[in-house]
Structure 1
């Protein structure tokens, strides 16, 4: 059954409405009509089976047939500091991060990023990234859409804003003694923040900044992973250790 998202304020009693870009998709692409049923998620863990009652150009109205709790979110909250990288690679990583259960994705402009905002247009791509996150959430059956930070951040801002997480890690090729498996002590971890480097890696100053906010430096092994590979590898391992993989 087709899945769509609508915010909680669009749900009242046994009725709900869908607005935005999904309306045209429902009406003109899928050609759904009154009487057809869809799944609607509210982003708070609730999934509704709804029967369409009205389909017009502005909104789609539906009657709620049933409601259930969607158990598709990981027990661990993971916040990813994702450096800007060339081409469409950032978009690809974003999709995979959503599939692997990240709760928040923060675009990072580090000192060695090839892609630079030059202090301008730090929010220009946010609407696109949020659309990608929503589409990926629908595709993989998540009950909530991960947040995408509205503005590109630097390393210090990311580390400062996530200093309260249970576990904080910066992955660095210069770390030769501490591996992720060494950090996993079996203790309960409910929130994790991590960042990886861009094509040119993180600078020594950025590593020291992360450490000053309590981030642990860790290695991903003896081989240097590409900028687009590292965050996906990390997410997979973290979900295996503390999440639901």
Structure 2
């Protein structure tokens, strides 16, 4: 049986004993039905992994002893900040999960003119919490030991106007630049992915005012969730650690 990887939200130290948080304890105790004496691999966001042994397990609480630690850096040299206009249903969850597997560092959900998602403040806060849990689960699955941040949602213009020293990119079907024509080297990228209906003419003009470069992925029209993952993959191949 593969040793399960579990995220622990507090800093870990060798030879300490800790209780897993509620979600992790439920997964280990109820779903996996693990018992005292079995091994886990923990990570706390510090880029270390920790070998641990279960010392107590029941339906509500799981206690572990941290045995040792080692450095395990799986982060790309390219820092990617994804600004994703929110999409409906499971599409946003899919985008978050897969973009984290591909190495994105920060994700900011965005509202735009043609955004089809309408949420009040309470429901939006719950969504952010849910998306952060998806981020954690994606890291547990893909082996990353730093958990990307899911930021609070904001308007497209507010996000575009934030100070950022990196390259700013916006996907546009009539752009003159492709990813392969972008100059080397690039260490930081702020990538904007619009809604299912695309950005308005005014929004595209606004992104240009804030220093965004329009780029073209190819001749075919892609869905918003396909666009994000295709662009991230191409950027990681050119500037990051894929390929």
For the criterion TM > 0.5, the same-fold answer is: yes
Alignment partner, residue 213 of structure 2: 216
Q: 1:25 to 1:120 in 2, by over 3 A?
A: closer
Asked if the contact 1:19/1:58 (under 8 Å) is kept, the reply is no
Aligned to 1:6: 8
How far apart, in 2, do the equivalents of 1:13 and 1:222 lie?
A: 53
1:167 paired residue number: 167
In 2, the alpha carbon distance for the partners of 1:107 and 1:23 equals 29
Deviation at 1:121, TM superposition (A): 4.3
Distance 2:122 2:25 in 1: 33
Q: CA deviation at 1:89?
A: 1.1
* CA distance in structure 2 between the partners assigned to 1:54 and 1:111 by the alignment: 52
CA distance in 1, matches of 2:25, 2:60: 7
Are 1:53 and 1:63, in contact at CA under 8 Å, matched by a contact in 2? yes
- Structure 1 residue ranges (4+ consecutive) displaced by more than 6 angstroms after TM superposition: none
Which deviates more, 69-78 or 114-123? Answer: 114-123
Gaps of 5+ in 2: none
Task: Quote the residue 2:184 is aligned against.
Answer: 186
Report the equivalent of 1:131. 133
- Count of residue pairs the alignment pairs up: 239
How far the C-alpha of 1:124 sits from its partner, in A, is 3.3
Cα shift at 1:174 = 3.4
Seen in structure 2, the aligned counterparts of structure 1 residues 87 and 34 have a Cα distance that, compared at 3 Å, is same
CA contact (8 A) 2:30 2:59 kept: no
Shift of 1:144: 1.7
Residue 226 (structure 2) aligned to one of 217, 226, 229: 229
TM-score after normalising by structure 1: 0.90
Pair 1:119–1:111, CA change in 2 (3 A): farther
Mapped partners of 1:119, 1:27: distance in 2: 34
Query: Where in structure 2 are the equivalents of 1:10-159 lying within 5 Å?
Result: 11-17=12-18, 18-56=20-58, 59-117=61-119, 121-149=123-151, 151-159=152-160
CA deviations 1:136-165 (Å, max 9, x no partner) are 11111111221111x32111121223x313
Indicate if the aligned counterparts of 1:109 and 1:116 stay in contact, CA closer than 8 A: no
Q: Following the alignment from structure 2 to structure 1, what is the Cα–Cα distance between the partners of residues 50 and 168?
A: 36
Q: Structure 1's 15 and 206: CA in aligned 2 closer, same or farther, altered over 3 A?
A: same
Q: Aligned partners of 1:82, 1:233: CA distance in 2, in Å? A: 14
Provide, for residues 155-196 of structure 1, a one-character-per-residue CA deviation record: whole Å limited to 9, x for no partner: 1121223x3132111111232x1112111x222x22211112
2: CA distance, partners of 1:158 / 1:44: 27
**How much is the aligned-residue C-alpha RMSD, in angstroms?**
1.8
1:242 maps to which of 216, 239, 242? 239
* Compared CA separation, residues 116 and 243, structure 1 to 2 (3 A): same
Task: Say if 1:131 and 1:118 are closer, same or farther in 2 by CA, change over 3 A.
Answer: closer
The TM-score with structure 2 as length reference comes to 0.91
Per-residue deviation at 1:54? 2.2
2:96 is paired with a residue of what secondary structure? Answer: helix
